[in-house]
Amino acid sequence: MLEIIAFDEDNIIGFRLKGGIEEDKFDEAVAKMEEMLKKHDKLRVYAEIEEVGGMNVNTFMKDIHFKLKHFSDFEKEAVVSDKGWLEAWINIADKIFPHIEVKHFSPDEKEEAKEWLRS
């Protein structure tokens, strides 16, 4: 389940992921980000990942399309998770995609992650 987390700042969007991503929730998140991008050149993302699941093929294709369209529209992403493999992947992705700064935080560092995004 994908849930949007509200932020006071209108250039930060937050997500909580618990398992798979339903297409309607994905569409809701994309619509929110598209609306935010009308006001800002770059967005920042806060993601709490509790459990990683899958998505159907249609949602996967929408995800690819969105990422290609908005490849350079994100400047920072804070990922909060206790998954060690995810932390390793984030460290690699941060080097592969230098246009976006990505940083991993443990679940007890949620507030630090939010402050890092705001800075």
- pTM given for the model: 0.91
H/E stretch holding 12: strand 12-19
pLDDT digits (tens, 9 = 90+) for 37-65: 999 999 999 999 998 888 889 998 998 89
Neighbours of 47 (CB within 10 A): 20
More confident residue, 1 or 85: 1
* pLDDT at position 6 over 90: yes
Torsion sign over Cα 81, 84, 85, 89: positive
Domains plus CATH for the chain?
Answer: 2-118 (3.30.750)
pLDDT tier, 66 (very low <50, low <70, confident <90, very high otherwise): very high
Edge-to-edge strands, sheet with 12-19: 2-5, 12-19, 43-52, 74-80, 101-105
Q: What is the pLDDT of residue 67?
A: 87
Instruction: For the chain, give the mean pLDDT.
Output: 93
